[in-house]
Amino acid sequence: MTQVARGVIPVEVDPTVPVRDHYIICGANALAHRLILELIEHYEVQVVAIVPDRMRDHAPRIERLEGVATVLEYSSVTDEALLAAGAGTARGIAMLDGDDQANIHTALSAQGLNPEIRIVLRMFNQRLGEQIQVLLKNCAALSGSATAAPAFANGALARPNSVRVGDRYLYVAYDTDFQAGHLCVAADRVDRQDLTRLRLLPDTGPASREFIRLAQAFGEGGPIEVGPPDWHGGSPDTGDGVAVLQTLPTEPRLRVPLRFRLLYKFLDTLRFFTGVRIRLVLFTAFAAILSSALIIWYFNRSFGWTLYLTLLDMAGSAQPDQMHDPTGGTGGPWQRVAQVIVTFSGIALVPVLTAIMVDILASGRRGQPRSPSAGLRGHVIVVGLGNVGTRVATLMHELGVPVAGLERDPQARGIAAMRALGIPVVIGDGPLAAQLRIARAQHARAVVAVTSDDAVNLEAALEARAQRESVRVVVRLFDDDFAQHVYSTLENVASRSVSYLAAPAFAAALMGREVLGTLSVFRHVLLIAELTAEQGGALVGMNRNALEAIGGLRVIAVRLARSPDTYQWGFADRSRGLLPGDRVVVVATRGGLAKLNNAAPEPVMAEPAGS
């Protein structure tokens, strides 16, 4: 039975509830909720939760979870709260609420109470997190937003999300996009209308099945035409889709030609820093100068001399050096007229260019980022500039994709980051339809709604679709049923959950597992993990068949201790047991990685001589 303690005075824990070798989760947000579910359902461990207010956020849902031993309510995680949670006998603790500084302070306190406790920190500042990992013993610093942001960004660009393993990139391909050299079947029974039928890493039978099938196709009468293998695990005419895991030597690139990116930058800057009337003056002046320069070139037939005369006249020099002309003339009345036009056009042009340059240099010191320009086209709108939205917008900017932000809170974390990157932002608390119109949603390629409110995200998606029906939409949704309805009713839409993507990585980190990344198959998650066979550990002595027999995982590569820099993809020797120092890369479901964590050690098998 779950117990609840309020206030600053800890409540005595019922002695019938195990409080040793448990895990402490600090926080009441969506990630804390998902992480507790992960630990209870897949790792089957006891959890003690510390929440700031049991009536707010996800605390009421956490309190109703039957696997939670105790729920403690403290406004901040103090030493008193850690003692009440039994930090001295806990196996691990995860800090998921508050800012980076508060989480670091809690981690130091927890390690002081229990030097052997496993610590997992949620850190927005990844560089600081790397330094904290060095400072603290047995600590992992992860960023939930950094883990989930690539899935949102790639969903908006309609390209596969990838995880780097060694010198290759792993990604999930669907239906006709897969290649013959895929590593394994990631999912079958893929049906957008009913995602509950989807199976991750389905049982496809022994590796020899395909060879047997091919051998049977060749009888006495000669070869028989063979169709594609039955990846569905059932009738081939079921109409279900399939997803496979495959590798690429390079990361899937976004096909935005450089010339278009440069053209966008130029036009966007020009349209932002100049109004319609100023642009009219600029274009008129440039047209007059260009026409006059052609006239001067006609009389001189020298590009260098033409450029010299044109630039001097633009600067206001009425008598440029003409000593090269033996007649002492300027080439006739037409050249004189051209030079006069250049001079007067320069008088109008130079002050305008000076004002634009001053405005550009001064814009970096303003308190607020600039607004989207009237010429914004083919961009991605990020609704909500919290941790995730800031990461997504930054990823888009690094790819060279035009991006605009939309945020109601002028004090949001991402405002300063957007200003530093020069990304336009619409700030205000007006109707979403009006805000999206200002952000040029009618000309956007995609809208990514990543606020912490499912209803607001769905509203942003619907309003964006109303302004442009073909716009691609990626929505952050916590509720799985809600997401299922969105998938089945809306076209060209993708749904992602930050907590669903990040929680498995945090749970694995609490168990001491190294997760390289996560891949999403619609609302489902696959983990790419690299595990080391350590002396006395469960992996030593296990072969590929034994690992995959656990269920919910596939071995995709092995690095032997004798050649640690070489990834042997699709390790063919299924009977060889792992030796201490060997590393194995697996793709696993959440439950599969948890079962591997609880696997019993196998007897060590000596490696055959000369192997």
Give the mean pLDDT of 209-224.
Answer: 48
Placement of tokens 């044109």 in the chain: 310
pLDDT of the residue at 6: 45
Asked if 582 contacts 559 with a C-beta cutoff of 8 angstroms, the reply is yes
- The 3-class SS string of 73-116 reads ECCCCCHHHHHHCCHHHCCEEEECCCCHHHHHHHHHHHHHHCCC
Instruction: Dump pLDDT digits (tens) for 358-370.
Output: 655 555 445 566 7
pLDDT of the residue at 13: 40
Query: Judging by DSSP bridges, how do beta strands 241-248 and 168-174 pair with one another?
Result: antiparallel
Rounded to an integer, what distance in angstroms lies between the CA atom of residue 452 and that of residue 429?
16
**CA dihedral in degrees (318, 319, 324, 327; nearest 10)?**
100
Instruction: Dump pLDDT digits (tens) for 268-310.
Output: 666 666 666 666 777 777 787 788 778 777 777 677 767 767 7
Give the DSSP H/E element, type plus range, for residue 480.
helix 480-489
pLDDT of the residue at 413: 81
Asked if 182 contacts 246 with a C-beta cutoff of 8 angstroms, the reply is yes
Selection from 198, 166, 59, 67 nearest residue 566 by Cα: 166
Placement of tokens 């010339």 in the chain: 259
Q: Evaluate if residue 326 carries a pLDDT over 70.
A: no
Query: Judging by DSSP bridges, how do beta strands 583-588 and 524-532 pair with one another?
Result: antiparallel
Of the two residues 116 and 98, the one the predictor is more confident about is 116
Rounded to an integer, what distance in angstroms lies between the CA atom of residue 348 and that of residue 314?
9
CA angle centred on 35, ends 34 and 37, rounded to 5°: 65
Asked if 29 contacts 15 with a C-beta cutoff of 8 angstroms, the reply is no
Asked if 155 contacts 447 with a C-beta cutoff of 8 angstroms, the reply is no
Query: Judging by DSSP bridges, how do beta strands 472-476 and 403-407 pair with one another?
Result: unpaired
Query: Of all residues in the chain, what percent carry a pLDDT higher than 70?
Result: 72
Q: Evaluate if residue 124 carries a pLDDT over 70.
A: yes
pLDDT of the residue at 61: 92
pLDDT of the residue at 270: 64
Tokens of 565: 């820099």
Instruction: Dump pLDDT digits (tens) for 420-458.
Output: 888 889 988 888 999 999 898 998 999 999 998 888 998
pLDDT of the residue at 274: 61
Rounded to an integer, what distance in angstroms lies between the CA atom of residue 503 and that of residue 58?
15
Q: Evaluate if residue 589 carries a pLDDT over 80.
A: yes
Asked if 53 contacts 604 with a C-beta cutoff of 8 angstroms, the reply is no
Rounded to an integer, what distance in angstroms lies between the CA atom of residue 585 and that of residue 572?
14
Confidence of residue 392 (pLDDT cuts 50, 70, 90): very high
Confidence of residue 262 (pLDDT cuts 50, 70, 90): low
pLDDT of the residue at 483: 76
Give the mean pLDDT of 67-76.
Answer: 90
Distance of CA 609 to the CA centre of its chain: 46
Task: Determine the 3-state secondary structure of 532 from DSSP.
Answer: strand
- The 3-class SS string of 141-157 reads EECHHHHHHHHHHHHHC
570: left (phi over 0), alpha (psi -120 to 50) or beta: left
pLDDT of the residue at 305: 66
- The 3-class SS string of 339-377 reads HHHHHHHHHHHHHHHHHHHHHHHHHCCCCCCCCCCCCCC
Give the mean pLDDT of 391-397.
Answer: 90
Q: Evaluate if residue 178 carries a pLDDT over 80.
A: no
Query: Of all residues in the chain, what percent carry a pLDDT higher than 90?
Result: 19
Distance of CA 374 to the CA centre of its chain: 29
- Would you call 356 exposed, middle or buried from its count of C-beta atoms within 10 A (0-12, 13-18, 19+)? middle
Q: Evaluate if residue 8 carries a pLDDT over 80.
A: no
Placement of tokens 């390790």 in the chain: 571
pLDDT of the residue at 11: 38
Q: Evaluate if residue 604 carries a pLDDT over 60.
A: no
pLDDT of the residue at 62: 93
Report the side by side order of strands in the sheet with 139-142. Answer: 3-5, 68-73, 47-51, 23-26, 92-95, 118-122, 139-142
Of the two residues 377 and 466, the one the predictor is more confident about is 466
Asked if 154 contacts 200 with a C-beta cutoff of 8 angstroms, the reply is no
Give the mean pLDDT of 467-476.
Answer: 90
Rounded to an integer, what distance in angstroms lies between the CA atom of residue 426 and that of residue 407?
6
Give the mean pLDDT of 64-93.
Answer: 91
pLDDT of the residue at 50: 94
Q: Evaluate if residue 376 carries a pLDDT over 90.
A: no
Phi, psi for 375 (deg, rounded to 5) = -100, 10
Q: Evaluate if residue 12 carries a pLDDT over 50.
A: no
Confidence of residue 155 (pLDDT cuts 50, 70, 90): confident
pLDDT of the residue at 10: 40
Distances (CA, A) of 223 to 210, 211, 217, 219: 16, 14, 6, 7
Asked if 583 contacts 531 with a C-beta cutoff of 8 angstroms, the reply is yes
- Would you call 476 exposed, middle or buried from its count of C-beta atoms within 10 A (0-12, 13-18, 19+)? buried
Selection from 156, 151, 192 nearest residue 172 by Cα: 151
Distances (CA, A) of 542 to 242, 514, 578: 30, 19, 6
pLDDT of the residue at 361: 59
Instruction: Dump pLDDT digits (tens) for 547-579.
Output: 888 888 899 999 998 888 899 988 888 888 899
Asked if 174 contacts 241 with a C-beta cutoff of 8 angstroms, the reply is yes
Asked if 571 contacts 183 with a C-beta cutoff of 8 angstroms, the reply is no
Q: Evaluate if residue 231 carries a pLDDT over 50.
A: no
Give me the helix-helix angle, 498-510 and 144-156, nearest 10°: 140
Give the mean pLDDT of 67-94.
Answer: 91
Mean pLDDT, the chain, whole residue set: 78
Q: Evaluate if residue 219 carries a pLDDT over 60.
A: no
pLDDT of the residue at 137: 83
